Structures are given as structure tokens and as C-alpha cells.
Amino acid sequence: MQKMDGMFYAPEAKGKKVTVVGPDIFRFAVIGMDHGHIYGMTNGLCEAGATLTWVYDEDSSKVQAFLEKHPTGKAAPDIATILSDKTVRLVASAIRPDKRAALGIQVMESGKDFFADKPGMLELEEADNVEKVCRQTGRKYAIYFSERIHVEGAVYTEQLINEGVLGRVVSVTILAPHRLSASTRPEWFFDPRYSGGILTDIGSHQLEQFLTYTGARTATVTSSLVGNYAHHEYPAFEDYGQVSLLADNGASGMVRVDWFTPDGLGAWGDGRMFIVGTKATIEVRKYLDVAREAKGDQVYLVDKDGERHICANGMTGFPFFGAFVLDCMHRTEKAITEAHTLETMRLAIRAEKQAKRIQV
């Protein structure tokens, strides 16, 4: 598994791999591969036992490359073929961000659940429309928040919080630098009209984690800012973003996202998370421990009994995917709730819309 390029970072379960269904019981399809996250999304679903059937993208070369990695699928001639196949329960998509909400609505109206790459929507109106169709159809609209659900250090941290090890969480700080690799990015990536801007895009990962780890239903953006420090050849692009938050349960938070990962780093970003609880504190070094350890999922826990360093790599697996497959089958909400998903995106969109623009 490569870690240098976050766009094609596709984790695979190691120690704990849980299959929840047998072959051909839960069939899913892929529509749209504008972002490489579709590989990670598909890995997770297949590891849970889901069976890939159809694959469609306007670019046939992307389909061919994808099917070399996932040969159980076959190329669909068009979207209609997938939507009319009643054996397909779920559609996964990493189509261009500004197209995701509309495609998701189309999928749900065809009687299938939808699993989108982040950001799942770019406008508050889109979130409202998605919510309306979810209620009308009873279908699911889930989003791939990979920086929590596909990182074992993050999964392990959530387990500790749920077990009460940290006590009440009072503060969450997340630092999330990313490697730009500008030459590999499509033109639309640099235009917020199509990508959503830095806070709606990679910021949504961090805001989802903030809500999850604090146990909050919602939060207020107390301040946010964005800027373009070093990429003026893309005038609308944002290479830096920051958000301060106050949750409805009193927890506070700060998020920093940027596109400044140096080329010399052995991963696409030195993602770190700091959580303060009333009983303990945690630091998570997600993808590596700089200049010490190439392996990620390094968790540093301090409580009344002392200091501990736990490598969570290979400990937890990625339970989201099995839980999500079962949710789709049984119409439950154990993996993630619709309310949480939509509130995350509304929070990210608000943070982006009200952000102060740094003039450089």
C-alpha cells in the first residue's frame, strides 16, 4: 500500500478483517472515478464481503485500470444499466464533487443506497435536497470520511472514548497537512466551484472527527479562514484553512488543513490529532511517526496510571464497512447516521462560506 499520494491511498485490513456477508449476497456498483478514493472505498466494501458488479466512468481508461485491480466487476455501458439492475443494492462514487449530490439523489430515487467520497455535497441547498430524498425514499446517503474510518489509530481512539477511558472529551485539535502533487491533479481540483474549497473538501474529514470524538450533535463555527499562500497560478485555489469550533455539548476544537506536505516526508501527510479528556489525553500520529517510525497508527495515551505508547496498526481493522453493509441490508444506522453525515457537511460548508480570506 502506497502512502506517498493521498489521492490514491487505499488501506487494506491486516490483523482484523471481518467479512459480514458471503459472495454475491450484497452487490454494489461504482459510478464515477474522478478521485482515487474510489479504490479505498471499494477495498473496504469488498473486505466486508460485498461483491462488485458494474463499473462506469466516462473515461474508459479509468474503468480498465480499476477492473485490473477489481476483476469481479465489469464495465457498464452507461449509468442507466446500473440503476436499472435490481440486484445492485448500493452505488459507490467518487465522481467530481459538484456532481455527487445530484448523482446520489438519482441513485436513491432508483431504489439504491449511495456511498459518496467526501465532500458529499458543496452547498447547503444540496444537503437539504439530499435529506429530503433520503426521507422520501428511505435510502441511505453515506460519505467516505476515510481519515477516521480507514485509519486504525483513529478507530482505536474512538473505541477508547466509547469505553470511557478519556472521561468527558473537552477539546479536539486536528492537524491535517496533505501533499498537493499538483501535476497529478485535474483542472477542476483547483477551482472551489467544482471541488468545494479546502474546508468543504479535506476540512470535512476533520469536522466529522470532531463531532464523533466529542459526541456532539452539532457545533458552531466560531471562526474560520482560508488562504492561498504559494499557488497563485491557481487564483481561486486555497492551500491553507483553519477552523475553530464550539460543540453543542460544550467541547471546543481547532482544525488546520493545508497542502504543504514537504516532498521529503514518507507519507502524504503528517496527520496528527490531540484529544483532551477529563481523565486522559491522547495524541494520534496517523500515517507515520516523523523520523522515527514509518508505520502509522501511533497512539500516545496519558492517564492517572502513566504514559503509554500503543501502535494500533493491525489492532482494530476497519469495522465501518461491515457495519455499513449490514445497515444497508437491515435498514439500521450503526455505522453512521444520516443526521451525523449531513450535519458534518453542513458544518464544513458553513465554515467555508463564512471564512475570512487571507490576502497574500
Residues 55 and 93 in one domain: yes
**342, three cell numbers:** 449531513
Angle between helices 37-47 and 60-69 (to 10 degrees): 40
Do the domain assignments include residue 167?
A: yes
Q: What's the domain count of the chain? A: 2
Tell me the pTM. 0.97
Across all residues in the chain, what is the average pLDDT?
96
Residues 140 and 153 in one domain: no
Judged by DSSP in three states, 285 sits in: strand
Q: Give Cβ neighbours of residue 58 (< 8 Å, ≥ 6 apart).
A: none
**Residues belonging to the chain:** 360
What's the confidence (pLDDT) of residue 13?
75
Q: Residue 229 to residues 172, 238, 258, 261, 320: CA-CA distances in angstroms? A: 26, 8, 10, 14, 36
pLDDT greater than 70 at residue 15? no
pLDDT digits (tens, 9 = 90+) for 229-263: 999 999 999 999 999 999 999 999 999 999 999 99
Among residues 85, 111, 144, the one where a domain terminates is 144
Q: Provide the domain limits for residue 195.
A: 148-318+349-358
CATH of the domain at 99: 3.40.50.720
pLDDT digits (tens, 9 = 90+) for 51-90: 999 999 999 999 999 999 999 999 999 999 999 999 999 9
Residues 241 and 354 in one domain: yes
Do the domain assignments include residue 194?
A: yes
The 3-class secondary structure across 193-240, one letter per residue, is HHHCCCCCCHHHHHHHHHHHHHCCCCEEEEEEEEECCCCCCCCCCCCE
CATH of the domain at 265: 3.30.360.10
What's the confidence (pLDDT) of residue 64?
98
Please say whether the beta carbons of 50 and 320 come within 8 A.
no
